[in-house]
Amino acid sequence: MNAVASTVQSGSSVGQVVRDYVALTKPRVMSLLLFTTLAAMLAAARGLPPLPLIWWTLLGGALAAGASGALNMYFDRDIDAAMTRTRNRPVPSGRLAPSHALWFGAALGVASIVVLATMVNVLAATLAAGGILIYVGVYTLWLKRTSVQNIVIGGAAGAIPPLVGWAAVTGHIGLPALMLFLIVFVWTPPHFWALALIAKGEYAKVGIPMLPVVRGDAATRRQILAYTIVLAVVTLALTPLRVAGPAYLVAAIALDAIFLYYALRLGRSAAPAAERTLYRYSMLYLALLFTAVVVDRFGRGAG
């Protein structure tokens, strides 16, 4: 409250302060993470889990995602200030003091662990804490500025929410949960590299070794295609592994075919439109794929 009060006293309206604190949590990213958490819960239960369990799991997940976003914006405030697409964020724009973002992120992180450990289970809390540590410690503070593999390894943080959702319902991590984790893990590089192609000039300006900056556009497009092929193999493997059934398989084949088409088109075209199309479709792809898992497992009932 003191942070909010001091910001308001500096001339910002209460509404603007609230919007800035919400922006620290990266709500767009959070929404996708929470969707995969919920989908994993529904898939694990093969039905609707108890509503209080859904509430506390999603609340804990939202707090963990918000903590990751706020701490990321604190540590990345120098490069955010130099990039056109991020310089209007609350910290680099000067609307919020860096210390406010740091303490806000830390508070959200502690709250997420407490909520999940007390209201869900310790495994879910441990996984969420691991996600924060990977995103902030491994990706933001280490790999993002030092390695071309930054998003490949750091992307594991975004793949943890399905594990949290599954653990919340079952109390353990089984093969289905690990496959959902693997899908998001393999999906992340082609999704993010499409964005990196669009923003490569910005990343080059601040010295971030994203793949297009270090290896060039052609190599990035080849890697996008390669990961898209691996993603298709992983998603289709859910049926022979008996994680999902025939209904899911039909949906996965269709979704993978479209993804592969866009990846191939990107490989042949240097047009920014091809990069944006693949980036936007990749988000729709993940949402529809997880929906297909849920619908398929609902259709096959409990057991």
**Which of 173, 196, 212 is the last residue before a domain boundary?**
173
**Are residues 147 and 36 part of one domain?**
yes
Q: Among residues of the chain, what percentage have pLDDT more than 90?
A: 89
Alpha-carbon 272 to chain mean position: 23
**Are residues 144 and 67 part of one domain?**
yes
**Are residues 125 and 189 part of one domain?**
no
Mean predicted lDDT score pLDDT of the chain: 93
pLDDT of residue 1: 44
Q: If DSSP codes are grouped into helix, strand and coil, which group holds residue 35?
A: helix
Beta strands in the chain (DSSP E): none
7, part of any domain: no
Q: How far apart are CA 160 and CA 11, in angstroms?
A: 39
**Are residues 129 and 257 part of one domain?**
no
Q: How far apart are CA 126 and CA 120, in angstroms?
A: 11
**Are residues 165 and 37 part of one domain?**
yes
Q: Among residues of the chain, what percentage have pLDDT more than 70?
A: 95
Q: How far apart are CA 124 and CA 76, in angstroms?
A: 28
pLDDT of residue 3: 47
pLDDT of residue 9: 45
Q: Are 129 and 178 in contact (CB under 8 A)?
A: no
DSSP designation for 173: -
Is 303 exposed, middle or buried (CB count within 10 Å of its CB: 0-12, 13-18, 19+)? exposed
**Are residues 163 and 34 part of one domain?**
yes
**Are residues 159 and 75 part of one domain?**
yes
271, part of any domain: yes
Mean pLDDT check: name the lowest of 3-12, 49-58, 82-91. Answer: 3-12
Amino acid at 229: I
**Which of 173, 190, 218 is the last residue before a domain boundary?**
173
H/E stretch holding 298: helix 272-300
Task: Report the phi/psi class of residue 111: left, alpha or beta, with left for phi > 0 and alpha for psi in -120 to 50.
Answer: alpha
**Are residues 227 and 246 part of one domain?**
yes
Q: How far apart are CA 222 and CA 226, in angstroms?
A: 6
**Are residues 247 and 266 part of one domain?**
yes
Q: How far apart are CA 103 and CA 70, in angstroms?
A: 9
CATH code, domain carrying 51: 1.10.357.140
pLDDT of residue 5: 46
**Are residues 169 and 47 part of one domain?**
yes
Q: Are 293 and 248 in contact (CB under 8 A)?
A: yes
Q: How far apart are CA 193 and CA 185, in angstroms?
A: 13
Looking at the 3D structure of the chain, how many domains does it have? 2
* Residue located via tokens 């859904």: 54
Instruction: Give, in order, the Cα–Cα distances in Å from 158 to each of 63, 110, 114, 201, 210.
Output: 14, 19, 20, 25, 18
3, part of any domain: no
8, part of any domain: no
123, part of any domain: yes
For the cut 70, the answer to whether the pLDDT of residue 158 exceeds it is yes
**Are residues 197 and 57 part of one domain?**
no
DSSP designation for 217: H
* Structural domain boundaries, residue 251: 174-303
Q: Nearest to residue 158, comparing CAs of 42, 30, 71?
A: 30
Neighbours of 79 (CB within 10 A): 19
> Maximum distance among all alpha carbons in the chain?
61
Binned at pLDDT 50, 70 and 90, residue 12 comes out as low
Residues 169-179 have a mean pLDDT of: 96
pLDDT of residue 301: 59
**Each residue's pLDDT tens digit, 195-235:** 999 999 999 999 999 999 999 999 999 999 999 999 999 99
Neighbours of 162 (CB within 10 A): 32
**Each residue's pLDDT tens digit, 119-146:** 999 999 999 999 999 999 999 999 999 9
**Are residues 187 and 117 part of one domain?**
no
**Which of 173, 203, 220 is the last residue before a domain boundary?**
173
Residues 24-32 have a mean pLDDT of: 96
81, part of any domain: yes
Q: Are 182 and 174 in contact (CB under 8 A)?
A: no
4, part of any domain: no
